[in-house]
Amino acid sequence: MLQPYLLKTFNLHQCSVITAIILAMIVGVSAFTAWSWIQWLAAFFAPMVQVVLYTATVTLFSNAVTPHEQGKVMGGAEAAMSLAFFVNSIVLGVFIQINVIIPVLIAALLIFMSARWFK
């Protein structure tokens, strides 16, 4: 319900930047709070924001090339996502051994940095 409205109201660039900043803030706040109800709210709202961010980002990738190149771009984007999930599963255990909050902080930082890369 919310995703089509946001993608029609804002242009894709604005939607990507805004949702990346919101998602980074949600993840960052959930790392530093001791209140479980805030973490529950974060767990509820973060996936919604992430779906909008993912859709806007993938559409930006797709619109950046001609129609006959879109398959290659989408394949590359999905390959990058698969690589990210693979690396995440390996590296996460190492960081959790140091401190359980470190992966969450790294995620918030990288999401916030990604908002700066959208052009």
**pLDDT digits over 31-44, tens only?**
888 888 998 999 99
Distance between CA atoms of residues 119 and 97, nearest Å: 37
Task: Show the low-confidence residues of the chain (pLDDT under 70).
Answer: 1, 118-119
pLDDT of 42-63, one tens digit each?
Answer: 999 999 998 888 888 888 888 8
CA quadruple 94, 105, 4, 8: dihedral sign: negative
What lies within 8 Å, CB to CB, of 7 at 6+ separation is 15, 52, 55, 56, 59
DSSP 8-state code for residue 64 = T
pLDDT value, residue 118 = 67
Quote the number of domains for the chain. 1
Quote the domain boundaries for residue 77.
Answer: 2-117
Residue 41 has which token pair?
């709210």
Question: Position of tokens 């242009």?
Answer: 11
pLDDT value, residue 13 = 85
pLDDT value, residue 44 = 93
* Prediction pTM value: 0.78
pLDDT value, residue 1 = 64
